[in-house]
């Protein structure tokens, strides 16, 4: 094949910035799929990273080709390059450079932006630089032009909010508000399992991998596949999930473990433990953002806490009794250990010379001679420490960050405002919420699968065009297949991005936008997943950021009223979306124009 080796450097630059773009898609958009699950404590950060790694990669490889074609061929008119393959390579490379740099800047500063709008704006800027405004497909262009994509600015959040609100209304009045909510949840859950499984099956079949040619099957076969898959999942939930949850929730069996799930029907006869439950033996996790007793105490002592400075330091006369177990990663301000820690901090500040050579218990635990580098790093012993301890710790750091601790801003005005926002929402029993945590994980995986299918195109679409030109030495035709290895490459970089740096974005979403719980999170994620999958079905690369934001806002308003949503935080999110369009477009256009018209000899 006529490889264009004279442009090897452009190919390498395109490859590097495509990897960076995909990395930031994972780091910036990870919250779109799993922020609600982590914020509601249905999943830990590490569990979310593992689940997302599998779903994002499969979504990118199996169903990422159709949307990739829209990004690659639908934004810029390929005739604008006038048959100059080198200029086309340069154009898509400039678009990737501008998009990747903007996303890296936003991710570093914890700005939630649309990765879809970033690459679309960059491509539009390149088109204007190449051949003026006529080079860009500004119109609808069979749902592939700029107008169709930017129509999602309003359509995507609105449709997602509608779907999520309908799902939450059904959940609220069919389960949560019922007198016996646990029984109602057990009854209706198989229907939810059937629906979620059917939606996921449709995403695979209708848009499925070109190599499998699932979309070429007859309509009857496709319909049967969707219905039968949903039925199988619903039956499995009845055989295995129902007895497991019944033992854990109804029988309050705190001794049951995750592997007992596979016991299935045998769990119906499993005897419940005779010991009484206490704070040490919790049969289900505590999903509440605000404890009910803590909320009442906060309302009664609100004025007193504001006027008394001692209350800010955990004074014994104003401390709240610990009525519930502390949430993971949080320290009760009224605990004896916390008071001792505060006293130690005050002593160190007052007498720095006395404590100069002393170490706190935390430092003593962290210091391990086996993991300390001594002398030049190039020594064999130090190289082993770096490979064995330092590198794995750095790679796994993102998956072990405590999101709830990052969101805790006790003592600030914003924290008080968020607390008042949470206080307006009803909190339901942990037993009922626990059952929805399973459904929320399933919907999160569905959403993550859809995210991989939709957003992988933002990076691999332009790069696949670069690869085609470099390999064949000619401008890409209107329809060219995206190689599977490129989809896998993009999916892998998305996974690495979300696993190593996704926490930086996830920390500012979740409970900061509105109060989360498994039932609410399930409605948000499922509503957003349906919207993304429908858009991807028609090849429209909508923003998953906008879908989950719209779904979260819709459920928040429906659950707590207009004052139950952090509109200030939402305004900052919208500002990031608006800034993406001019910044990415102008940066890519200027870069392309400067390189094309630079003096040379």
Q: Where are the domains of the chain?
A: 5-178+424-594, 181-269
Which residue has tokens 């910035």? 17
pTM of the model: 0.75
pLDDT in tens, 399-413: 777 777 776 666 677
pLDDT in tens, 257-312: 888 999 999 999 888 877 655 545 678 888 877 664 444 444 444 434 444 433 33
Describe the chain by its helix, strand, coil percentages, rounded to 5: 70, 0, 30
**Does residue 207 register a pLDDT over 70?**
no
pLDDT category of residue 354 using cuts at 50, 70 and 90: very low
Tell me the two tokens of residue 104: 């890296």
Beta pairing partners, 76: 136
Q: Quickly count: other Cβ atoms within 10 Å of residue 398's Cβ.
A: 22
Please tell me the least confidently modeled range out of 57-66, 183-192, 275-284, 587-596: 275-284
Beta pairing partners, 136: 76
Which residue has tokens 């945590």? 437
pLDDT in tens, 464-479: 889 988 988 888 776 6
pLDDT, average across residues 523-533: 85
> 519 Cβ partners below 8 Å, 6+ apart?
168, 171, 172, 175, 176, 428, 432, 433, 436, 440
Residue 323: per-residue pLDDT: 36
pLDDT, average across residues 585-595: 94
| Of 429, 600, 466, residue with least CA distance to 19 | 466
Share of the chain above pLDDT 90, in %: 20
Residue 425 in contact with residue 515, Cβ under 8 Å?
yes
DSSP state of 375: S
Higher per-residue pLDDT: 78 or 581: 581
Q: pLDDT averaged over the chain?
A: 78
pLDDT category of residue 208 using cuts at 50, 70 and 90: low
Q: Quickly count: other Cβ atoms within 10 Å of residue 110's Cβ.
A: 15
Helices (H), 538-566: 544-560
Handedness of CA 35, 40, 46, 48 (dihedral sign): negative
Higher per-residue pLDDT: 545 or 348: 545
Residue 579, phi-psi category: left (phi > 0), alpha (psi -120 to 50), beta (remainder): alpha
pLDDT category of residue 458 using cuts at 50, 70 and 90: confident
Residue 336: per-residue pLDDT: 46
Higher per-residue pLDDT: 68 or 113: 113
pLDDT, average across residues 479-499: 84
**Does residue 40 register a pLDDT over 90?**
no
3-class secondary structure for 291-347?
CHHHHHHHHHCHHHHHHCHHHHHCCCCCCCCCCCCCCCCCCCCCCHHHHHHHHHHHH
Residue 289: per-residue pLDDT: 74
pLDDT, average across residues 424-435: 87
Residue 382: per-residue pLDDT: 82
pLDDT, average across residues 350-370: 47
**Does residue 499 register a pLDDT over 90?**
no
Share of the chain above pLDDT 70, in %: 77
Hey, is 389 helix, strand or coil? Answer: helix
Residue 212: per-residue pLDDT: 59
Distance between CA atoms of 380 and 10, rounded to whole angstroms?
A: 38
């Amino acid at each position: 094949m006529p490889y264009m080796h004279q442009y090897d450097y452009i190919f390498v630059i395109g490859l590097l910035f495509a990897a960076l773009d995909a990395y930031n898609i994972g780091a910036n958009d990870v919250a779109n799929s799993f922020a609600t699950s982590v914020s509601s404590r249905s999943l830990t950060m590490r569990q979310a990273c593992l689940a997302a790694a599998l779903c994002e990669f499969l979504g990118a490889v199996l169903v990422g080709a159709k949307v990739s074609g829209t990004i690659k061929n639908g934004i810029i008119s390929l005739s604008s390059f006038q048959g100059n393959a080198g200029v086309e390579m340069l154009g898509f490379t400039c678009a990737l450079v501008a998009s990747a740099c903007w996303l890296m800047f936003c991710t570093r500063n914890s700005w939630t932006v649309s990765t879809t709008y970033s690459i679309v704006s960059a491509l539009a800027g390149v088109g204007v630089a190449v051949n003026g405004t006529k080079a860009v497909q500004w119109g609808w262009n069979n749902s592939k032009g700029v107008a169709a994509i930017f129509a999602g600015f309003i359509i995507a959040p609105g449709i997602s909010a509608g779907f999520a609100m309908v799902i939450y209304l059904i959940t609220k009045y069919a389960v949560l508000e019922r007198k016996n909510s646990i029984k109602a949840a057990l009854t209706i859950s198989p229907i939810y399992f059937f629906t979620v499984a059917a939606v996921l099956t449709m995403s695979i079949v209708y848009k499925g991998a070109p190599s499998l040619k699932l979309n070429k099957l007859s309509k009857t076969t496709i319909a049967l596949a969707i219905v039968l898959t949903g039925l199988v999942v619903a039956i499995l939930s009845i055989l295995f999930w129902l007895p497991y949850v019944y033992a854990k929730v109804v029988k309050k069996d705190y001794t049951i473990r995750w592997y007992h799930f596979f016991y299935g029907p045998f769990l119906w006869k499993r005897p419940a433990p005779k010991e009484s439950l206490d704070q040490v033996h919790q049969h289900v996790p505590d999903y509440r953002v605000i404890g009910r007793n803590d909320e009442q105490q906060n309302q009664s002592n609100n004025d007193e806490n504001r006027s008394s400075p001692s209350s800010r330091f955990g004074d014994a006369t104003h401390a709240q009794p610990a009525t519930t177990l502390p949430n993971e990663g949080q320290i009760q301000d009224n605990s004896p250990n916390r008071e001792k820690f505060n006293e130690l901090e005050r002593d160190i500040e007052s007498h720095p010379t006395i404590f100069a050579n002393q170490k706190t218990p935390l430092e003593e635990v962290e210091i391990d001679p086996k993991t300390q580098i001594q002398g030049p790093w190039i020594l064999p012993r130090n190289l082993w420490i770096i490979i064995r301890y330092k590198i794995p710790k750095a790679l796994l750091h993102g998956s072990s960050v405590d999101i709830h601790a990052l969101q805790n801003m006790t003592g600030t005005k914003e924290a008080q405002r968020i607390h008042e926002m949470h206080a307006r929402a009803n909190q339901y029993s942990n037993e009922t919420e626990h059952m929805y945590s399973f459904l929320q994980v399933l919907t999160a995986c569905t959403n993550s699968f859809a995210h991989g299918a939709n957003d992988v195109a933002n990076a691999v679409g332009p790069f696949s065009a670069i690869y085609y030109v470099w390999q064949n030495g000619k401008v890409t035709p209107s329809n060219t297949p995206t190689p599977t290895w490129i989809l896998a490459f993009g999916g892998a970089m998305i996974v690495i991005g979300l696993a190593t740096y996704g926490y930086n974005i996830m920390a500012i979403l979740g409970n900061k936008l509105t109060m989360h719980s498994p039932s609410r999170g399930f409605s948000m994620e499922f509503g957003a997943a349906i919207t993304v999958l429908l858009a991807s079905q028609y090849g429209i690369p909508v923003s998953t950021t906008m879908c989950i934001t719209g779904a979260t806002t819709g459920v928040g308003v429906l659950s707590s009223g207009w004052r139950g949503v952090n509109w200030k935080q939402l305004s900052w999110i919208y500002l990031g979306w608006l800034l993406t369009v001019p910044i990415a477009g102008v940066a890519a256009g200027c870069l392309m124009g400067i390189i094309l018209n630079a003096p040379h000899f």
